[in-house]
A and B are shown apart, each in its own frame.
Chain A
């Protein structure tokens, strides 16, 4: 099993996010992996704003194909997004479809001033014109492989797993 520690990835991300000089960013993590990364980043960024989380299940584009995730979590944005600079955080950027859904959902809460995207792991395979502003690490994976974020006693790390059937 292939393990990738998260600590150096987070260090790179924090440095690059600081360099963006975003004014009072509202950090929003996408459930579940993105929310974990966002929590770590939020700790390190010394921002006064509260941390938000999004569950994008209701905005996915494959609803009519695969149906609803049986365990939808509530999206929790503790501060209004209207006029705010948003730092959207996810664990893996691959097709870009999750980010498209997340941006749609953010706009259902209001009109933000800007959205920047920070991802821990970027893998090629974009199906939409979406690019990240901050990338912790870039990695090529086989089509059947997936990078999953795992929480253990020693902290967070990525695990590269091979799927038996394909689902996004």
Chain B
């Protein structure tokens, strides 16, 4: 049930109404989201860290999969926009009593909620909700199965633009478990739309999807070769919970070959930045010395996530009435 197009994201006037996938979004939309996020960045320093844009609106964080940073930054972002926020996580929800996702969403919509932030282990869950709830309801995909995690990709793009000044001429490496990664899919769509010079995927062949080259990326399983000339290193978490069967030989061997150490990082450009969507498996896909080192922007990614999520929510919720 993975959705193949992003048409459902727009209303009949071509305005962005849901944020489900980056695939198919025009470059101007992405740039506009980044620009607006830039002006939200300074809000953390104000006496009152709130703007009244979503006053009187209710945002529901509907998380059918565990999450700390994504759910928390969505909550802070919504509160800084003055929305009321309700958090629902899998453990205490009706789904454990057999109620379907759609029924849960419909029940919450009947309480006059305005925006759903949805995470689910099934690809297409947020798409399903967006296509079945009334028109005034907005849906943001906060990660659906292996399909997409578009707000994570946008905060990554925001971090890259802040650190590197733009996308032109950049060579970006995405390293690790691409096969199970919804983050990687969204990153590839965003990076190609924003026009980087090259995207390289590095990882064991067992963790790289087949025919991924059709997305316009280069693939290698050699870290030295793959990291050469790279400006941005995007690490992925090894998702052991999603693996059935033997996809990696042993954790030690994986770290030896693909774990990002200072030695391996030296193959990249001297001013290359290191990113990771979190949570980090220290000593598995990345060494602590790199994760905590001066080229790591991992904590900036978290901070930037608030401004970017504020920007996306404001984009979806503004200008709802027909002129």
Contact = CB atoms under 8 A, between A and B. Distances in A.
Interface in A67-110: 67-68, 70-75, 82, 104, 107-110
Given A66-B323, A70-B35, A74-B41, 6 more contacts: A58-B51, A58-B314, A64-B319, A68-B314, A68-B315, A72-B35
Contacts of A108: 46-48, 50-51
A55 interface: yes
A75 B38 CA distance: 11
Nearest to B320: A64
Given A75-B42, A108-B47, A110-B47, A64 B321 contact: yes
If over half of B's interface residues share one DSSP class (helix, strand or loop), that class is named, otherwise mixed; here it is loop
B195 interface: no
Interface string B1-38: 00000000000000100000000000000001001101
Interface in B218-264: none
B53 interface: yes
Interface residues of A, number: 22
A11 to B, nearest CB: 34
B52 interface: yes
A66 B318 CA distance: 7
B38 A64 contact: no
Contact of B36 (A59, A63, A65, A72): A72
B89 interface: no
Contact of A64 (B35, B50, B318): B318
Contacts of A82: 47
A67 B11 CA distance: 14
